[in-house]
């Protein structure tokens, strides 16, 4: 009897030891939300998830967004792709075509959460061009536009900057470099996707779509030439040098520019809710307007928006990755949105009221809040037309072809005509 008891105890101890030293399933999560405060939030969400799932270890790895295509290519070559990765809409089709995404896992995650819990427009944008199922899981999004000083516009009797003509008129009116004041700040840095993001709504508003509805490349068109010419002339009314998204923000919050392009991620900065950025203009949020739609010279109206997704990559522990994605979009979702409530418009319906209850929205006019909240209905993009997705757009973004030609025009190395021809040639070479 004693021997049996001893044997039973030994078996139990052995079993506990095996369990204690069992290797955990590791979910490597690459995130382009890489600012320290946001990484801290994501690590806290991962820690909460791991408490519920002690058999899974989540490693949060910050990645710079401009470096993502290169890092993914390097990881693919080394056989070390992430398990889950946060990335923008422009990469979904390309990653799916290359076979990097586990589309069945993404579709299963969406199904588990309930198709009807998502906004249809967000789901429609992430369908795989290969299988027709969902290639990635949408997490949040935004609509970009011009943020402008309503008070300064009123002083000069200027109309809101909603068209090519009114934008250019205002840029000229406020341009006063001798007094460190500029009319507008737009993206001109050749190494940043931001430059493409600012250029694209101008192009769309002029019928320059980059690709037609059948997927044909249409970069070298009169409409593209006209847009390149307008955009680079508009840049002349901004500060000198190549400008990035961070410089757009800085010039605006210190009162050195009347207009800038940005996503609603800027809302908490303008409102003075971010300690790292000192707003020097009184009542800046109250006196800021938002124009998300641009009207081109022929009357076409366009906007630019972004949908951010969580991709589950191939050769991972599918079940663990799905559970983590569901947790991020479930118990952790409001914490994700509140990292930057203006810039993270929800893709799931149930959290809208809680999201709009954030303090930042009370500091802006109802019109601004309405345009931000309706962002999921305004998204327009190159390569997404009439329900068709052109995978090649991922490579155009990844190679930063438009930012490169913008710089070449500004430095005098190309004319707009030469730039459009170069875009056509370079894009065709990617096929």
- pLDDT for 4 beyond 50: no
In degrees, rounded to 5, the angle at the alpha carbon of residue 390 between the alpha carbons of residues 384 and 394 is 100
CA dist 4 → 9, 12, 13, 89, 172 (Å): 9, 12, 14, 62, 92
Report in angstroms the alpha-carbon separations of 340 from 141, 210, 268, 270, 411.
Answer: 11, 31, 7, 12, 35
In contact, 267 and 241? CB cutoff 8 Å: no
Q: Which residue is it, tokens 């516009």? A: 153
Predicted local confidence at residue 81, as pLDDT: 96
Tell me if 401 sits within 8 A of 69, measured CB to CB. no
Burial 149-159 (b: 16+ CB within 10 A, else e): bebbbeeeebe
- β-bridge partners, 302: 294
Query: In this predicted model, what pLDDT tens digit does every residue of 309-350 receive, in sequence order?
Result: 999 999 899 999 999 999 999 999 999 999 999 999 999 999
Binned at pLDDT 50, 70 and 90, residue 57 comes out as: very high
**Poorest-confidence range of 5-14, 28-37, 133-142?**
5-14
Banded model confidence at residue 390, pLDDT cuts 50, 70, 90: confident
Residue 183 predicted with pLDDT over 50: yes
pLDDT exceeds 50 at position 21: no
Please write the tens of the pLDDT for every residue from 58-114: 999 999 988 999 999 999 999 999 999 999 998 898 899 899 999 999 999 999 999
Interstrand relation of 137-149 and 288-291 (parallel, antiparallel or unpaired)? antiparallel
- Calculate mean pLDDT across residues 358-374: 92
The more confident residue out of 31 and 123 is 31
pLDDT reported for residue 22: 54
The reported pLDDT for the residue numbered 287 is 97
Separation between Cα atoms, residue 192 and residue 245, nearest integer Å: 9
pLDDT of residue 208: 97
On average, the pLDDT of the chain sits at: 91
Full set of structural domains in the chain with CATH: 24-142+306-366 (3.40.190.10), 144-304+388-429 (3.40.190.10)
Residue 387: per-residue pLDDT: 60
Please enumerate in sequence order all residues whose Cβ is within 8 A of that of 40, keeping only pairs 6 or more positions apart, or say none. none
pLDDT band of 257, cuts 50, 70, 90: very high
pLDDT score of 350: 92
Q: What angle do CA 146, 370, 265 make, to 5 degrees?
A: 50
Residues 6+ apart with CB under 8 A from 334: 351, 354, 355
Query: Helices (H), strands (E): how many in the chain?
Result: 19, 14
The packing angle between helices 392-399 and 401-410, to 10°, is 40
Q: How many CB atoms lie within 10 A of CB 24?
A: 13
Least confident of 19-28, 80-89, 283-292: 19-28
What torsion do the CA atoms of 410, 413, 417, 422 make, to the nearest 10 degrees? Answer: -110
Q: pLDDT-derived band of residue 8, with 50, 70 and 90 as boundaries?
A: very low
Rounded distance between C-alpha atoms, residue 286 and residue 189, angstroms:
30
Q: Which residues pair with 312 in a beta bridge?
A: 84
Give the burial string for 219-244 (b: 16+ CB within 10 Å, else e): bbbebbbbbbbbbbebbebbbeebbb
Q: Taking 50 as the threshold, does the pLDDT of residue 412 lie above it? A: yes
Cα distances from 180 to residues 44, 60, 95, 176, 255, in angstroms, run 42, 41, 44, 6, 10
Contact 385, 124 (CB under 8 A): no
pLDDT, tens only, 292-309: 999 999 999 999 999 999
């Amino acid at each position: 009897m004693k021997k049996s008891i001893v044997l039973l105890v030994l078996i139990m101890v052995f079993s506990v030891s095996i369990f204690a030293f069992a290797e955990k399933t590791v979910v490597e999560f690459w995130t382009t939300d890489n600012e320290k405060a946001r990484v801290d939030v994501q690590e806290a969400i991962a820690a909460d998830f791991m408490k519920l799932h002690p058999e899974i270890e989540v490693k949060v790895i910050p990645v710079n967004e401009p470096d993502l295509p290169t890092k993914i290519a390097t990881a693919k070559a080394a056989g070390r792709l992430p398990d889950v990765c946060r990335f923008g809409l422009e990469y979904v089709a390309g990653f799916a075509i290359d076979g990097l995404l586990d589309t069945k896992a993404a579709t299963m995650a969406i199904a588990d959460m309930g198709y009807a819990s998502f906004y249809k427009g967000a789901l429609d944008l992430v369908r795989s061009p290969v299988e027709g199922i969902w290639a990635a899981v949408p997490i949040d999004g935004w609509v970009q536009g011009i943020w402008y000083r309503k008070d300064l516009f009123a002083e000069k009797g200027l109309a809101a900057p909603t068209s090519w003509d009114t934008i250019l008129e205002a840029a000229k009116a406020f341009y006063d470099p001798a007094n460190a004041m500029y009319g507008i700040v737009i993206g001109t840095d050749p190494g940043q996707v931001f430059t493409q993001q600012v250029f694209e709504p101008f192009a769309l508003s002029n019928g320059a779509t980059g690709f037609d509805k059948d997927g044909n490349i249409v970069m070298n068109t009169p409409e593209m030439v006209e847009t390149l010419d307008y955009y680079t002339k508009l840049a002349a009314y901004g500060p000198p040098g190549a400008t990035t998204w961070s410089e757009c923000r800085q010039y605006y919050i210190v009162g050195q520019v009347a207009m800038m392009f940005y996503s609603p991620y800027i809302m908490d900065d303008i409102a003075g809710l971010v300690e790292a950025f000192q707003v020097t203009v009184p009542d800046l949020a109250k006196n800021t307007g938002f124009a998300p739609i641009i009207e081109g010279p022929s009357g076409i109206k366009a906007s630019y928006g972004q949908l951010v997704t969580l991709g589950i990559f191939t050769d991972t522990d599918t079940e663990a990755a799905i559970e983590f994605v569901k947790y991020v979009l479930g118990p952790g979702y409001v914490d994700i949105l509140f990292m930057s409530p203006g810039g993270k418009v929800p893709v799931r319906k149930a959290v809208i009221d809680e999201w709009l209850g954030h303090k930042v929205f009370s500091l802006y006019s109802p019109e601004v809040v309405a345009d931000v909240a309706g962002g999921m209905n305004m998204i327009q993009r190159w390569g997404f037309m009439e329900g068709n997705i052109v995978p090649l757009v991922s490579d155009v973004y990844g190679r930063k072809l438009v930012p490169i030609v913008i710089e070449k025009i500004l430095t005098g190395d190309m004319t707009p005509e030469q730039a459009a021809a170069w875009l056509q040639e370079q894009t065709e070479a990617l096929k």
